[in-house]
Structure 1
Amino acid sequence: MRKFVYIVTDRNRTSLHVGMSADLIKTLDFYKKMPSLFFDSGQQLTRLVYFEELKTESQALNRFKVISRFTRMQKERLVRACNPDWIDLTIGLDFEHITMSRPLSTQVKIPLTIMS
């Protein structure tokens, strides 16, 4: 079973929150639907800027503990290493989830051709 460790932030990058989840899309939906549960409206943590996929819960928990102890600067370096423009990665996950959840017959099939 897949496990994820992730970092979410608000639109101004004021807060960086490290989390762990078995269903990243469901977790991100929760953040978007319940933003004021933990933070005020100015700190809505709706932007996924970093995530790692791990194979076991123990690997994910260990990685979560490591990243959680990072200073803000270390977290920013981690994000910038793979996402230098701090793009919201949720868009790509939503696309992948929609594509992968369709029956195979309705998925777009791209023919393999050799360009000459």
Structure 2
Amino acid sequence: MKKFVYIVTDRNRKSLHVGISSDLMKTLDFYKQMPNLFFDCGQQLTRLVYFEEFKTEAQALGRFKVISRFTRMQKERMVRACNPNWIDLTIGLDFEHILSSKPLVNQVKLPFQTMS
């Protein structure tokens, strides 16, 4: 089973939170639906800006422990290295999830295809 280590942030990038999950989409949905128990609206952690995928829980836990000890500057450098514009990566995951759950056969007809 896959495991993910991720970093989420708020819209102003004030808070960076490192987490670990086996179902990234479900975890991100939880963040978006979670009432603002610890943060105000501006600090709600809804933007996925970084993630890594691992094959085992042990690998993910080891990486989680390393990243958790990083300073804020180290985390920011890590995010900027692969996501320089701090784009919310959830959009890509949603698209990938949609593609994997629905077969694309016969949904798109190319202009040069003939109808049988």
TM normalised by structure 1 equals 0.88
Shift of 1:103: 3.5
Task: After the TM superposition, list the runs of 4 or more consecutive aligned residues in structure 1 that deviate by more than 6 angstroms.
Answer: none
| Paired residues of 1:47 and 1:88 also in contact (CA < 8 A) | yes
When residues 109 and 4 of structure 1 are mapped into structure 2, their CA distance, relative to the original with a 3 A threshold, is farther
Tell me, which stretches of 5 or more residues in structure 2 are unaligned? Answer: 111-116
Alignment partner, residue 51 of structure 2: 51
Partner residue, 1:34: 34
SS at match of 1:11: coil
Q: Identify the residue that residue 18 of structure 1 maps to in structure 2.
A: 18
Distance 2:63 2:25 in 1: 19
Cα deviation code 1:36-95 (max 9, x no counterpart): 133222211000000000010000000000000000000000000000000000000000
**2:95 corresponds to 1:90:** no
Partner AA of 1:85 in structure 2: N
Give the counterpart letter for 1:69 in structure 2: R
Structure 1 unaligned blocks of 5 or more = 111-116
Give the fraction of aligned pairs with identical amino acids, expressed as a percent.
83
User: What's the offset of the Cα at 1:30?
Assistant: 0.4
> What is the identity, as a one-letter code, of the residue corresponding to 2:66?
V
Query: Structure 1 residues 67, 104: closer, same or farther in 2, change over 3 A?
Result: same
Q: What secondary structure does 2:36 align onto?
A: helix
Partner of 2:5: 5
Equivalent AA in structure 1 for residue 73 of structure 2: M
Number of aligned residues: 110
Compared CA separation, residues 82 and 51, structure 1 to 2 (3 A): same
CA contact (8 A) 1:99 1:107 kept: no
Q: Is the 8 A contact 1:3 1:20 kept in 2?
A: yes
Larger Rg: 2
- 1:102 CA displacement: 1.2
